[in-house]
Amino acid sequence: MTIRTTSRRSQVNKQHLYCILGIILAIVACRKSDDWVDISPFMGFQKARNFPEPVYNFATNKITEAGFNLGKKLFYEPLLSRNNTISCGSCHISYYAFTHHGHTVSHGIEDKEGIRNALPIMNLAWNESFFWDGGVHNLDLSSVAPIENPVEMDEKLSNIVLKLQKNKEYPGLFKAAFGTEGISSERMLKALSQFMLLLISDQSKYDKVQRGEGGMLFTAEEQAGYLLFKKHCNTCHSEPLFTDQSFRDIGLGLNPAKDYGRYDITLHERDKLKFKVPSLRNLKYTAPYMHDGSYLTLAAVMQQFQSGSIKLNNEETTQILAFLETLNDAQFTLDKRFAE
């Protein structure tokens, strides 16, 4: 009896030993491979089945792992601001779907305030225009705006190039990304694009239901909300990006910053107070809402719409909010490949 027990114990111990050996081996193997990222190979740009064809012209900027990594480093690089204090990531925080969560308008250099709420950086490959007023129409040129804006990063592209050239790491990283020596503003902007293009949010419950992944289904409440959404919201917040990328005035009126939105770009009377229809993805992480962040909660936003032509009772409002919950993509906000 005792012997049997002992033999069993020794068997268990052996199993333990193998197990520990295995773990050590795994750790050693991982250390040897130098980087945890190597475990999942670089996939480049991947379009989900339920997404349309992207708008970005990838032929002009081939995405590579080195380019993506350089773009990521630049995105979190304070050298891109005049006094080397803030980076793109200061106002576009990964955990909040790359917004400046909790700030009505973003705080830039020396805590200067702009007049608009930082938009989330996600699914930019499908963007036809950029920013709340659509003043920029090419992703590669979009980074110039925050970099040179006096209340954001207040730096000149040409000066950043000088700073990066003097840096020990960057010359090698640019060479790795673009094949030849040389740091230019064009390369810097393209690398930033490579990083931002891969910030794709397509793993929400909604996406999985649409793709029929793992037999995932909406709850009855979500389904009811989805039908209401299609009836009342889908015209502007069109699936699957949840924006038709048009510019609209939803009756918020002129704010104290006297921001006329799209009008400042076109100077057309008809564009006064129009702003880009924002996506409804990841609302959980991107409060406050609207171009000036003046709506702190989704309930307040829903109230604003109901003061217009959309009439919903309390149950219906709850159902729509339940559907909007399914557009949150936690995996996107927690993705280590994107975080600082």
Partner 1 sequence: MRYYLYSRIFYSYNMKNNFIILLAAVCFLFSACKKDNPISSTENQRGRVKLKFDHIVGGRVLQLGSATYTNAAAENYSIETLRYYISNIKLTRQDGTVYTVPKDSSYFLIDASVENSLFPKFQVPVGTYTKLDFIVGVDSLKNTEDIASRLGDLSVDKGMYWSWNSGYIFLKMEGKSAASSSGNYHFHIGGFGGYNTQTINNIKAVSVDLTKAGSSAVQEGLSSDIHLMVDVSLVLDGKTPFSIKEHPSVMFGEFSTSIADNYQAMFRHDHTHNFQKIAGE
Binding site for partner 1 (CB under 8 A): 57, 60-61, 129, 131, 133, 135-138, 140-141, 144-145, 147-149, 156-158, 161, 184-186, 189-190, 264-268, 271
Nearer to partner 1, 131 or 323 (CB): 131
Tokens at 163, concatenated: 């700073």
Q: What CA–CA distances, in Å, run from 118 to 5, 78, 99, 290?
A: 66, 18, 6, 10
237 is in an annotated binding site: yes
Q: Are 297 and 304 in contact (CB under 8 A)?
A: no
* Minimal distance, residue 148 CB to partner 1, in Å: 5
107 is in an annotated binding site: no
Nearer to partner 1, 151 or 227 (CB): 151
Tokens at 58, concatenated: 């990838």
Nearer to partner 1, 61 or 94 (CB): 61
Nearer to partner 1, 258 or 336 (CB): 258
92 is in an annotated binding site: yes
Cβ neighbors of 61 (< 8 A, separation 6 or more) are 67, 140, 190, 193, 194
Nearer to partner 1, 255 or 266 (CB): 266
**Alpha-helical segments (H) within 100-219:** 139-142, 144-148, 157-166, 170-178, 185-197, 205-211
Residue 224 gets which letter from DSSP?
H
* Minimal distance, residue 144 CB to partner 1, in Å: 4
* Minimal distance, residue 16 CB to partner 1, in Å: 59
* Minimal distance, residue 186 CB to partner 1, in Å: 5
19 is in an annotated binding site: no
30 is in an annotated binding site: no
Q: Are 98 and 106 in contact (CB under 8 A)?
A: no
* Minimal distance, residue 67 CB to partner 1, in Å: 14
Nearer to partner 1, 64 or 203 (CB): 64
91 is in an annotated binding site: yes
* Minimal distance, residue 117 CB to partner 1, in Å: 16
Distance (Å, whole) CA 2 – CA 5: 5
In sequence order, what DSSP letters do the residues of 62-103 get, joined into one string? ---HHHHHHHHHHHT-GGGSTTS---HHHHSBGGGTTB-TT-
Tokens at 36, concatenated: 């945890």
Distance (Å, whole) CA 40 – CA 334: 16
Q: Are 312 and 228 in contact (CB under 8 A)?
A: yes
Residue 309 gets which letter from DSSP?
T
Nearer to partner 1, 31 or 156 (CB): 156
* Minimal distance, residue 46 CB to partner 1, in Å: 23
Q: What CA–CA distances, in Å, run from 279 to 37, 74, 127?
A: 30, 26, 11
Residues annotated within a binding site for heme c = 88, 91-92, 233, 236-237
The binding site comprises 88, 91-92, 233, 236-237
